[in-house]
Chains A and B, each alone.
Chain A
Amino acid sequence: MSLCYAYYPGCSGLGTSLEYDISTRALCRNLGIELVDIPDWNCCGSTPAHAVDHLLSACLVGRNLGIADDMAEARELDGIITPCPSCLKNLKTTQYRLADPEFHRKVELVVGRPLRADLPIKSVLQVVVEDLGLQALAQLVKAPLAGLKVVPYYGCIMVRPPRIMQFDDPENPMALDNLLTELGAEVLPFPLKTDCCGASLGTTRKDVIAKLSGRILDAAEEAGADAIVTACPLCQMNLDMRQSQINKANHSGHNMPVFYYSQLAGLAAGQGETSTMLDKLCVSPRPLLAALAGHTGEGA
């Protein structure tokens, strides 16, 4: 089976989550999933757009959906995919609301073109787990992550609201759990797997982040995890880049690496630094990986 998707990278992939974008592209390449970037894509507006106006949000998304329509004219596509849950929710919410003819007409007027917007829209995680299947992933694993104890952290909106996202269980998703198990890691039960990290309040209300992301870090440590694994750029930034701020606010001493699942897939596939980009993580995973390598007697 050969899969080809229109790829929507999202803005953070150009900056704060560069390592997520690069390791995701590498993972897809290894799995034989062809990604064609949506040419000249624009920002979906993220939370600020839908918090300010639903029409504006849908129109920013609509331009990208329109370009994807054109791509599907030129060649067969299996759908649109993105690594970022926030972009995903905006893409899927817009598609859902465009089913209303009156709203559809308004959006077309503002975007300035007709829109079909009928391609399936999924996260990269969903495509890997559902469309391709974990067996395909198992074939990539050359250096299983044996001895690595992780908690899977999905964030809120990868699976919520279920009516829109149509992926896994909204309260106890297992996609990431199963994927990490396939990579050879020891996946610990994590009751906070869909709890909120504080999202975009990081800049404006640090007290909220210290409390919510702090609780996730505390629980991960209590569970005995070596690391947290996430699929969301904003969650990753709050837990990793802001970990020092959180420690200061909460008088805690966390030193917990926060990986993207795609980075761990690259590690398990025996890939080097160019695609895993472990150096981009603020809390260094080096001591952890060195300890693991020492334990198993394998090179990191």
Chain B
Amino acid sequence: MSSSPKAFDTEFIAEVQRESEQNLALCYQCGNCTAGCPVSFAYDYPVNQIMRLVQTGRKQEALSSHAIWLCASCETCTTRCPNDIDVARVMDVLRHMARRENIVSEKAVGAFWKAFLESVEKHGRVFELGLMANYVGKTGRMFTDVDLAPMALRKGKLGLKAHDIKKLAEIRGIFDRYREQK
């Protein structure tokens, strides 16, 4: 951030509206989204407060929240919103914006998603074992799921080989052109 954050950032409100294609003014704080949200217990701001932060242009608080990274995309909020706001899509858009501004309040979640997409770009499909190795490399979380590895390997649930697609050039092309578009 180059200058001190604005207290009421109208540009931010417009940007979230545009990218999510949702009318945020329709939220009247009924709390239905929060009542149904399964991850509320782990959030710093419950989802209705995230909606309020966006409505009131509090960009810094919204984008640096942990809640936007912990949202499990379960779509309960979207399903139950009485005003038909796609709340889960707003959460998605806030993550996109936070990432663009390099604000990642849940480092492990950000690293996992990055490792996942790197696996897709490299192989065309997710290579689970490679993904875990990359994730451990990014976070230093050596003991993540190490207790599950013997079981997963014994059950043949963790393939030792990647299943690369044949036309990898097409996937690389998609990633390249996507980056050019941005």
Contacts and interface: CB of A to CB of B under 8 A. Distances in A.
**Are these two chains actual partners, yes or no?**
yes
Contacts of B178: 53, 55-56, 59, 110
B75 A156 contact: yes
Nearest to B100: A53
A110 B177 contact: yes
B72 A42 contact: no
A201 B165 CA distance: 27
Interface stretch (A8-16, A115-123, A129-137): A8-16
Interface string A158-200: 0011100000001100000000000000000000000110111
A121 B109 CA distance: 30
Nearest to A17: B157
B132 to A, nearest CB: 8
Interface in A259-297: 279-280, 282
B13 interface: no
B96 A112 contact: no
A52 B95 contact: yes
B108 A112 contact: no
B74 A162 contact: no
B23 interface: no
A161 B157 contact: no
B147 A244 contact: yes
Contacts of A110: 174, 177-178, 181
A41 B165 CA distance: 7
Interface stretch (B2-10, B24-32, B48-56, B110-118): B110-118
Contacts of B38: 195-196, 198, 212
A132 B178 CA distance: 40
Contacts of B96: 51-54
Interface in A61-113: 63, 89, 106, 109-112
Interface size class of A (residues with CB under 8 A): 35 or more
A200 B72 contact: yes
Interface in A11-33: 11-12, 14-16, 18
B145 A203 contact: yes
Contact of A42 (B76, B120, B147): B120
Contacts of A245: 147-148
B79 A42 contact: no
B126 A46 contact: yes
Contacts of B114: 48
Contacts of B177: 109-110, 112
Interface in A195-222: 195-196, 198-205, 207-208, 211-212
A50 interface: yes
A298 interface: no
Contacts of A55: 178, 181-182
A112 B155 contact: no
A16 B156 CA distance: 8
B73 interface: yes
A146 interface: no
A157 interface: yes
A279 B154 CA distance: 10
Interface in B139-168: 144-145, 147-148, 151-152, 155-159, 163, 165-167
A42 B124 contact: yes
A157 B145 contact: no
A54 B159 CA distance: 29
Contacts of A162: 79
Interface in A211-257: 211-212, 241-242, 244-245
B112 A48 contact: yes
Interface of B: 38-39, 41-42, 70, 72-76, 78-79, 86, 88, 92, 95-96, 99, 106, 108-109, 111-114, 116-117, 119-120, 124-126, 128, 132, 135, 144-145, 147-148, 151-152, 155-159, 163, 165-167, 170-171, 173-175, 177-178, 181-182
Given A60-B171, A244-B147, 12 more contacts: A11-B125, A42-B171, A48-B113, A51-B92, A53-B96, A198-B38, A200-B72, A203-B135, A205-B108, A205-B109, A212-B38, A244-B148
9 contacts: A45-B117, A47-B73, A47-B113, A59-B178, A60-B171, A161-B75, A198-B38, A203-B112, A241-B151
Interface of A: 11-12, 14-16, 18, 40-43, 45-56, 59-60, 63, 89, 106, 109-112, 156-157, 160-162, 170-171, 195-196, 198-205, 207-208, 211-212, 241-242, 244-245, 279-280, 282
- Rank and list the top 4 A-B pairs by shortest CB-CB distance, nearest first: A48-B113, A156-B74, A196-B38, A160-B75
